[in-house]
């Protein structure tokens, strides 16, 4: 008996950089059945990590080019595949990984059952050792926490990441939205995910979020600092997004906080430094720390350096300047592009070995050639 299409799709997604591991409960299959029809699952199996035109995918799927394009566009609208529009040329389509990807694309069409299943599944997706080798996100400090005398690269500053963008879109935070749907969460700003460039094009075509200018984006970052949100851009010098995350809702931060030494698995160029003699024990910093790196001990704060992820939120609320950020002796190696980040992640998981990439590229080239000949 042929393997069920959802079982095959789960294996297919698990071969993508972000992974889609199996569980004893089978919750990952329930999620796929909620999101994909059988027809959509079959077509999704024909997409890989290399962007391709619909006519190429059509040959693989044994569909006419017109039928393949119509189905792919419908799947784009439903947040099941990623596509890139090209003015005057056919769009390109590629597989979307589950996180960061398909799950986030469903921010506008959540339901309680899907939220329940994904919350059960998310801990299975987070592998601390893989994240340590190649995280999808990194942490940058809030702007006011970094002294002007520090030599800071543009990609280490959230405001510079924003100023360097030609197109910016703001979308709702799926973590806060799904927590509210479940009757939990917080009242922090919901419109807090900044999306850039090609990713912003994709969101805009799907009607998710709204386009904004750099000044409004900077205002969102300022409000994020006021509300104690950790800034997490994509782990790339040319960022595709900046997430403004709270410790109570963000699935990434919650899983990182469960690790005994978060500082070891987070990509961050900075760490907090405490001058105990200047501390007056007000406790403001304790409330701002999402990792529990600071604890009030009598009339002084104590620092657990192994838990600090360098967000700087504690620094901006210290009335006596007892806290400051310092650059780590070893600065993280930040990939130049997000595509490079995904390649590193796939290699860390053993799913995108050079041989497999070469085979995928060769298959794509052959399919393009056959499609061009009809």
Going by C-beta distance under 8 Å and a sequence separation of 6 or more, which residues neighbour residue 219? none
Taking a C-beta distance cutoff of 8 angstroms, is the pair 271, 207 a contact? no
Q: What pLDDT is recorded for position 363?
A: 66
Tokens of residue 79, six digits: 């947040």
Could you give phi then psi for residue 360, rounded to 5 degrees?
-60, -45
**CA dihedral sign of residues 73, 181, 223, 309:** negative
Rg of the chain (C-alpha set) = 22
Q: What pLDDT is recorded for position 356?
A: 58
* 180-206 b/e (C-beta count within 10 Å ≥ 16 → b): beeeebeebbbbbbbbbbebbbbbbeb
Eight-state DSSP code of residue 98: I
Q: What is the Cα–Cα distance from 195 to 191, expressed in whole angstroms?
A: 11
- Closest C-alpha among 299, 276, 275, 302 to residue 289: 302
Q: What is the Cα–Cα distance from 160 to 162, expressed in whole angstroms?
A: 5
Which residues pair with residue 294 across a beta bridge? 303
Could you count the other beta carbons within 10 Å of the beta carbon of residue 237?
18
pTM here is 0.91
Q: What pLDDT is recorded for position 331?
A: 85
Q: What pLDDT is recorded for position 85?
A: 92
Q: Is 294 helix (H, G, I), strand (E, B) or coil?
A: strand
| Domains located in the chain, CATH noted | 5-121 (1.10.10.10), 126-327 (no CATH)
Q: What pLDDT is recorded for position 28?
A: 98
* 34-66 b/e (C-beta count within 10 Å ≥ 16 → b): ebbeeebbbbbbbbbbebbbbbbbbbbbebebe
Going by C-beta distance under 8 Å and a sequence separation of 6 or more, which residues neighbour residue 335? 235, 236, 237, 341, 344
Q: What pLDDT is recorded for position 1?
A: 38
Q: Which residues of the chain have pLDDT under 70?
A: 1-3, 147-151, 353-374
Q: What is the Cα–Cα distance from 238 to 183, expressed in whole angstroms?
A: 36
Q: What pLDDT is recorded for position 367?
A: 64
């Amino acid at each position: 008996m042929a393997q069920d299409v959802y079982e095959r799709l789960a294996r297919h997604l698990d071969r993508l950089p972000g992974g889609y591991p199996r569980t004893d409960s089978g919750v990952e299959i329930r999620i796929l059945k909620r999101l994909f029809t059988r027809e959509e699952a079959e077509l999704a199996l024909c997409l890989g990590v290399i962007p391709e035109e619909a006519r190429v995918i059509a040959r693989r799927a044994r569909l006419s080019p017109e039928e393949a394009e119509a189905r792919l566009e419908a799947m784009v609208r439903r947040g099941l595949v990623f596509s890139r529009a090209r003015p005057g040329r056919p769009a390109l389509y590629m597989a979307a990984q589950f996180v960061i990807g398909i799950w986030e694309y469903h921010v506008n069409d959540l339901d309680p059952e899907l939220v329940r299943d994904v919350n059960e599944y998310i801990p299975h997706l987070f592998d601390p050792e893989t994240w340590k080798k190649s995280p999808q996100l990194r942490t940058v400090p809030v702007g006011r926490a970094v002294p002007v005398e520090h030599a800071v690269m543009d990609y280490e500053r959230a405001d510079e990441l924003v100023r360097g963008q030609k197109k910016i879109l703001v979308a709702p935070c799926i973590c806060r939205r799904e927590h509210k749907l479940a009757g939990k969460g917080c009242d922090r700003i919901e419109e807090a995910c900044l999306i850039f460039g090609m990713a912003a094009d994709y969101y805009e075509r799907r009607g998710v979020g709204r386009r904004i200018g750099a000044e409004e984006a900077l205002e969102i970052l300022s409000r994020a600092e006021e509300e104690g949100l950790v800034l997490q851009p994509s782990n790339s010098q040319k960022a595709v997004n900046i997430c403004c995350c709270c410790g109570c809702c963000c699935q990434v931060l919650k899983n990182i906080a469960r690790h005994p030494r978060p500082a070891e698995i987070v990509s961050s160029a900075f760490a907090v430094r405490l001058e105990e003699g200047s501390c007056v024990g007000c406790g403001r910093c304790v409330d701002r720390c999402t990792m529990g790196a600071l604890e009030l001990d009598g009339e002084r704060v104590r620092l657990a350096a192994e838990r600090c992820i360098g967000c700087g939120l504690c620094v901006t609320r210290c009335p006596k300047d007892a806290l400051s950020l310092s650059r780590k002796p070893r600065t993280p190696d930040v990939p130049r592009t997000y595509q490079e980040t995904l390649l590193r992640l796939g290699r860390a998981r053993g799913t995108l070995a050079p041989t497999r990439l070469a085979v995928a590229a060769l298959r794509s080239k052959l399919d393009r050639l056959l499609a061009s000949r009809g």
